[in-house]
Amino acid sequence: MPLAAGRASTLVEIQTSTEARDPVSNEPVQTWALFRKAWVSIDVRRGGEYFETGSRYSQTIQVLKGDWLELKDVTPGMRIVMGIPQQILDIKTVLTDNDLRMQVRLECVAGEGAR
Q: Which residues 6+ apart lie within 8 Å of 4 measured at CB? A: none
Per-residue pLDDT, 59: 78
Q: What is the DSSP letter of 115?
A: -
Q: What is the pLDDT of residues 46-80, one digit of tens each?
A: 777 767 777 777 778 899 999 988 998 999 999 99
Q: What is the pLDDT of residues 8-53, one digit of tens each?
A: 889 999 999 999 998 899 899 999 999 999 999 998 877 777 677 7
pLDDT average, residue stretch 74-103: 90
CA 74 distance to own-chain centroid: 9
The DSSP annotation for 41-76 comes to: EEEEEEEEEEEETTEEEEEEEEEEEEEHHHHTT--B
What architecture is the 10-114 domain classified under in CATH? Beta Barrel (2.40)
Per-residue pLDDT, 80: 97
Euclidean distance between CA atoms 35 and 84, whole angstroms: 20
Q: Which residues 6+ apart lie within 8 Å of 88 measured at CB? A: 79, 80, 81, 110, 111, 112, 113, 114
